[in-house]
C-alpha cells in the first residue's frame, strides 16, 4: 500500500526536476539570443530616428525626470534618444523621441500603449506624430486632439519631458 502511494510521488518529483532543469538550460541558451535580438531592434529603431548616427552611448538617467526610462547620445553628436513613459487615459504610454544637437525634435514614435482603439490610437498616426518633427521645446502650434485629449496631452507631456532631459544633459 505504501509503495503504491510513494512511487507515483517520487516519479512525479523526478519528472518535475528533469523538466525544470531542461527549462533552465533552455533559458540559459536562448536568453542571450533574445537579448541580442532586442538590442538589435532597439538600435534599428534609434538608427531610424537618427539615420546619420554612427552608434549610441547609454546615458545615466538618475538626474533626469523620473519619466525618462532610458537616454542615449549618438556617438557622433548627431543627437539624443529619450525613451519616455507617461500615463495616458488607459495606462502607460511609452514613446521614443529623438532630439538633435540644436534642441529640435528629429522624430518621435509610440513604442507601446494601452489606449482605446480608434480614439487613443491617434498617437500612432503620422498626422499626429509628424506635427512634432522639427519643433523645439516651445512646441509651437501643438495642442491635444479633441476626443483623445488625455492621450494626446500625455504624448505632448512626454515630448516636453524629453526636452527637459535634453536641457539637463546639455547643461542648460
Do 82 and 99 have their domain in common? yes
- Residue 38 has a pLDDT of 65
Q: Which H or E run includes 13? A: helix 2-49
How remote is the C-alpha of 171 from its chain's centroid?
Answer: 24
How far is it, in rounded angstroms, from Cα 88 to Cα 90?
6
On the question of pLDDT at 143 being above 70, the answer is yes
31 and 87 share one domain: no
CB atoms within 10 A of CB 162: 29
Do 72 and 105 sit in the same domain of this protein?
yes
Could you tell me if 99 and 58 lie in one domain? Answer: yes
Distance CA 108, CA 128 (A): 10
Q: Is the pLDDT of residue 172 over 60?
A: no
> Are 70 and 26 found together in one domain?
no
How many domains does the chain contain in total?
2
DSSP per residue over 132-156, as a string?
A: GTT--TT-TT--PPTT-HHHHHHHH
Set of cell numbers at residue 58:
547609454
105-112 and 68-74 strand pairing: unpaired
Q: Which H/E stretch holds residue 59? A: strand 56-59
Residues 88 and 163 in one domain: yes
For residue 163, is pLDDT > 60?
yes
For 20-69, how does the pLDDT look when each residue is reduced to its tens digit (9 = 90+)?
999 999 988 888 887 777 666 777 787 888 888 888 899 988 889 999 98
pLDDT of 4 above 60: yes
Asked whether residue 1 falls in the same domain as residue 43, the answer is yes
Least confident of 33-47, 86-100, 129-143: 33-47
The pLDDT of 106-116, averaged and rounded, is 83
The residue among 85 and 37 whose pLDDT is bigger is 85
**Higher-confidence residue: 125 or 165?**
165
pLDDT of residue 39: 65
Query: Are residues 70 and 113 both part of a single domain?
Result: yes
Domain coverage including residue 12: 1-49
Same domain, 35 and 82: no
- Give yes or no: residues 95 and 63 share one domain: yes
Note whether 118 and 110 are within 8 A (CB).
no
Its pTM stands at 0.75
Q: Which 8-state DSSP code applies to residue 1? A: -
* Res 90: pLDDT: 82
**H-helix or E-strand spanning residue 127:** helix 126-129
User: Is 120 found in the same domain as 74?
Assistant: yes
Shared domain check, 118 and 34: no
Amino acid at each position: 500500500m505504501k509503495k503504491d502511494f510513494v512511487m507515483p510521488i517520487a516519479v512525479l518529483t523526478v519528472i518535475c526536476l528533469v523538466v525544470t532543469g531542461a527549462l533552465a538550460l533552455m533559458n540559459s541558451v536562448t536568453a542571450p539570443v533574445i537579448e541580442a535580438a532586442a538590442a538589435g531592434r532597439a538600435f534599428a529603431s534609434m538608427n531610424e530616428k537618427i539615420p546619420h548616427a554612427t552608434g549610441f552611448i547609454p546615458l545615466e538617467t538618475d538626474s533626469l525626470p523620473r519619466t525618462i526610462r532610458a537616454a542615449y547620445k549618438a556617438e557622433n553628436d548627431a543627437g539624443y534618444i529619450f525613451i519616455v513613459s507617461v500615463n495616458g487615459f488607459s495606462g502607460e504610454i511609452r514613446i521614443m523621441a529623438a532630439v538633435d544637437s540644436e534642441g529640435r525634435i528629429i522624430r518621435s514614435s509610440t513604442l507601446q500603449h494601452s489606449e482605446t482603439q480608434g480614439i487613443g490610437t491617434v498617437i500612432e498616426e503620422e498626422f499626429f506624430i509628424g506635427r512634432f518633427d522639427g519643433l523645439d521645446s516651445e512646441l509651437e502650434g501643438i495642442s491635444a486632439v479633441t476626443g483623445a485629449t488625455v492621450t494626446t496631452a500625455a504624448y505632448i507631456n512626454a515630448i516636453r519631458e524629453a526636452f527637459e532631459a535634453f536641457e539637463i544633459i546639455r547643461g542648460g
